[in-house]
Each structure stands twice: as C-alpha cells, then as structure tokens.
Amino acid sequence: MSFQRITIEPEKMGGVPCIRGLRIPVATVVDLFASGLSREEILKYYPDLEAEDITEALRFAAEAVRERELPLISEL
C-alpha cells in the first residue's frame, strides 16, 4: 500500500511519519480523531491540513497496526 501524503524524513521530527512534509505527525491527527474531534474541527485547528490528509493518516495507522502482532490479554 502506498501513501502519497505521508512522509518520513529523518531530519524532520526525528523521522516520525508526518503529513506531506509538514511538522504535523500522523499520530497527532489520529489521536485528535480518536478523541472525538470531527474532521472539520481538526482542519480548523490545523489549517495547513486537507481533508484527504486525515483520511490517509487513518489508513496509515490502520496499516501500521495490521503489520504487527499485538498481545491480547485474556481474563482468567
């Protein structure tokens, strides 16, 4: 899967995945969305973002989780 709007640059933000070379980490966008902010609210707080950036950040996060084995805690 390719991501046109996600950039990883070692010299920017320590190589953290960001949106389009901006200093806006994917994790920040995903966290805001998960915290209940709407796309419109996120775009208001970050006017450099575009609606497609939010969609791609969510796709990127989903792919990152899909590629890992996460431990499940079973209740006894």
> Is 26 within the bounds of a domain?
yes
pTM for this prediction: 0.84
- 20 CB-side CA count, 13 A: 11
What's the token pair of residue 17? 């995945």
Q: What is the pLDDT of residue 65?
A: 86
Q: Which domain holds residue 25?
A: 6-64
What's the token pair of residue 31? 């966290």
Residue 1 has pLDDT above 90, yes or no: no
> Is 44 within the bounds of a domain?
yes
Q: How many domains does the chain have?
A: 1
Q: What is the pLDDT of residue 71?
A: 66
- pLDDT band at 70; cut points 50, 70, 90: low
> Is 41 within the bounds of a domain?
yes
CATH number at residue 27: 1.10.10.10
- Residue ranges of E strands in 1-76: 6-7, 18-19
> Is 51 within the bounds of a domain?
yes
Instruction: Please write the tens of the pLDDT for every residue from 43-52.
Output: 999 999 999 9
> Is 73 within the bounds of a domain?
no
